[in-house]
Amino acid sequence: MKSKMLGNVWTLMMSMALLSACEKMVIAENPEPGEEGNVVVRVTQFEQTPFDARTRSEVGEYCSRLCFHVYGEDGQRVSYVNQKQEDTGFGTASFSLSEGRYYLVVVGHNGSSNPSFNANVRVSLGKQVGDTFWCCEELVVGDDDIEKNLVLNRIVSLVRFIPADPSPENLNQLIFTYTGSRGTFNGLTGYGSTNTKQTADLDVSADDSQFEFYMIPRDQNDTINVKVNSYYIEEGGRIHSLAEKTIEEIPVRRNSITICRGNLFDNKSSSRSVFISVSVEGEWGEGINMSF
């Protein structure tokens, strides 16, 4: 069954490759699926976080927004439901679909606005990337109604820097720059779909003991080279550069926290070592530790 579904997914991906990557899908704004839909889907589990998700408060512990988007085999979106935590029935969506094969893409997140779902099932979270969950399910609609329970998987990596040296006294901004993917991903695979220059800007203080940002890896063996620039920005806007550091080949994995330890503000290059930690941080998967 798994190999059959993979074959169907690849067929869908090949079909969508014929679509213009720059073309927005056209569909009515905020369609309202029928109350008596023949397809009902329900979020019942988040990766490594089992729970009986029958109330919106339980689902809302992990995300404040859910997006359910249904695509036909031609790659065109045929229906969708976007939900906020305060909505009645948060975590459950109903669709009225004619007979055929479809693909359901679900994204759970905590952003202030919904992701954009574009041609080729390309999903973009925008610049503010936080903890994000996803799943893709095949729906084969026939004579019988469908009820499906969904497991959402965390698709982000959290990259955390713990400096071993003291922060500059007037530090108030860090900018992390790397080439890869951050908030745009393939809705069928959940992996990052860009390989471009990315930046993560953080407002910080010299008292902070660690600094971190989220990103979506391009594959399960992804690595990024990160340049860290430290600044002091005056109230009038004048910018003072304090330090610059480049750390190469940082491993990033879905559902993992990569912890980078070393001198962050000495403006010197340093060797690095990587090892896999056996500890688990919260509900995240196996962590990755490295020194530089």
Q: How confident is the model at residue 5 (pLDDT cuts 50, 70, 90)?
A: very low
**Domain ends where: 105, 136, 154?**
154
Q: Are residues 278 and 236 in the same domain?
A: yes
Q: Are residues 34 and 86 in the same domain?
A: yes
Domain count, the chain: 2
CA–CA separation, 54 vs 73, rounded Å? 31
Q: Are residues 170 and 240 in the same domain?
A: yes
**Domain ends where: 97, 120, 154?**
154
Structure confidence by residue, pLDDT tens digits, 232-281: 999 999 999 999 998 888 999 999 999 998 889 987 755 454 433 322 23
Beta bridge partners of 259: 160, 289
Q: What share of the chain in percent tops pLDDT 70?
A: 78
Task: Single out the residue of 43, 57, 41, 136 nearest to residue 97, CA to CA.
Answer: 41
Q: How confident is the model at residue 48 (pLDDT cuts 50, 70, 90)?
A: low
Average pLDDT score over the chain? 81
Residues 245/264, Cβ–Cβ less than 8 Å:
yes
**Which contiguous run of DSSP H or E holds residue 289?**
strand 286-291
Structure confidence by residue, pLDDT tens digits, 178-219: 999 999 999 999 999 999 999 999 999 999 999 999 999 999
Q: Are residues 8 and 150 in the same domain?
A: yes
Token pair 């004619």 in the structure block, residue: 98
**Domain ends where: 120, 154, 188?**
154
Residue 3 has pLDDT above 80, yes or no: no
Q: What is the largest CA-CA distance in the chain?
A: 68
Q: Are residues 36 and 6 in the same domain?
A: yes
90-104, 107-121, 158-172, 181-195: segment of lowest average pLDDT:
107-121
Helix (H, G, I), strand (E, B) or coil at 110: coil
Q: Which domain holds residue 272?
A: 157-291
Q: Are residues 8 and 43 in the same domain?
A: yes
CA–CA separation, 228 vs 175, rounded Å? 6
Q: Are residues 18 and 132 in the same domain?
A: yes
Instruction: Determine the pLDDT at residue 85.
Output: 92
Helix (H, G, I), strand (E, B) or coil at 212: strand
Helix (H, G, I), strand (E, B) or coil at 111: coil
For 154, phi then psi, to 5°, come to: -70, 130
